[in-house]
Amino acid sequence: MHIKLFMRAKNLEVPVFYRAILQGFFYNYMDDFLGTFIHEEGFIFDRRTYKLFSFSRIFSKDTPVYDEKRKILIFNGEIWVVFSSPIYDLIRSFEKNISERGFVTLNGRALEVFKITKRSYMIDKEDVKIKTLSGITCYTTQNGKRYFFEVGGKEWNNMITLNLKNKYKILYGQEIDGDVEMEPINVSKKVTRYSPHSRDIYEEWMGVFKIKGPKELIQVAIDAGIGPKNSAGFGCVKPIS
């Protein structure tokens, strides 16, 4: 399920690499017990930890101002973000905690929340076109170094398939057959960081893809995110016609 939060900003300043700020924002508006469990423990499978949520970048009606000297973006007017998860209690708690307040605090700035929408995308076919709401990253780590896979290549698809199957096993307690293939249609690569102070560099791919495979795995991709680092703001996607 996707929940979209619409806000009004007045001189909202965030660093260019603002994923860490958004991640903290989403944790702040979860129920205490649920947020602490997901943040501190998460769901463990095959020695990997999954948080089972993702989120978009910040979208805005008007183009944000870029302050090159301070390396910040300044937002004014209508902005929105998307939070996605297959865990209904997580969506419910996030919506409830924000609705009760009518405003949120993002990077120290109070923002009016004027609309909240929810949408469940029901996947009923094995060939779906998707659009990224935050970039997808896909890599392996060897000896402490990340090696990023070619978008849509064999290693990319193998890693995406394994990641989705693990999430599926966590959610439903059973294995699923079949593989996922992603075909880039109109995409671009960007090099990014988790935060301004992070030394970790990530390659992310944004744009439109075609994803083929079991519809159950595509459903997990839409709800929980594609690839690793979903809870850090990578791999949030939605289906498009």
Rg of the chain in Å (alpha carbons): 17
CATH number at residue 176: 3.30.70.1900
* 236 and 168 within one domain: yes
Over range 144-165, report the average pLDDT.
96
What does the pLDDT look like over 77-120, one tens digit per residue? 999 999 999 999 999 999 999 998 889 999 999 999 999 999 99
Question: Is 231:56 a contact under the CB 8 Å cutoff?
Answer: no
Coil, strand, or helix at residue 99?
Answer: helix
Span 122-147, pLDDT tens digits: 999 999 999 999 999 999 998 888 99
Average pLDDT over residues 18-43: 92
pLDDT of residue 104: 96
Which of 98, 119, 140 represents a domain boundary (last residue)?
A: 119
What angle, rounded to 10 degrees, do the helices at 88-99 and 32-40 form? 130
How far apart, in whole angstroms, are the C-alpha atoms of residue 112 and residue 38? 27
Whichever domain contains 7, its CATH number is 3.30.70.1890
Interatomic CA distance for residues 206 and 162, integer angstroms: 21
Residue 7: name the closest of 77, 66, 86 by CA: 77
Provide the number of structural domains found in the chain: 2
Per-residue pLDDT reduced to its tens digit, 200-224: 899 999 999 999 999 999 999 999 9
| pLDDT given for residue 66 in this prediction | 97
Task: Give me the mean pLDDT over the 8-32 stretch.
Answer: 95
Q: Which of 114, 111, 115, 116 is nearest to 10 (CA)?
A: 111
Boundaries of domain holding 58: 2-119
Spacing of C-alpha 194 from chain mean position: 12
In this structure, the answer to whether residues 7 and 102 fall within a common structural domain is: yes
Give the confidence band of 47 by pLDDT, cuts at 50, 70, 90. Answer: confident
Single residue among 119, 147, 162 that ends a domain in this structure: 119
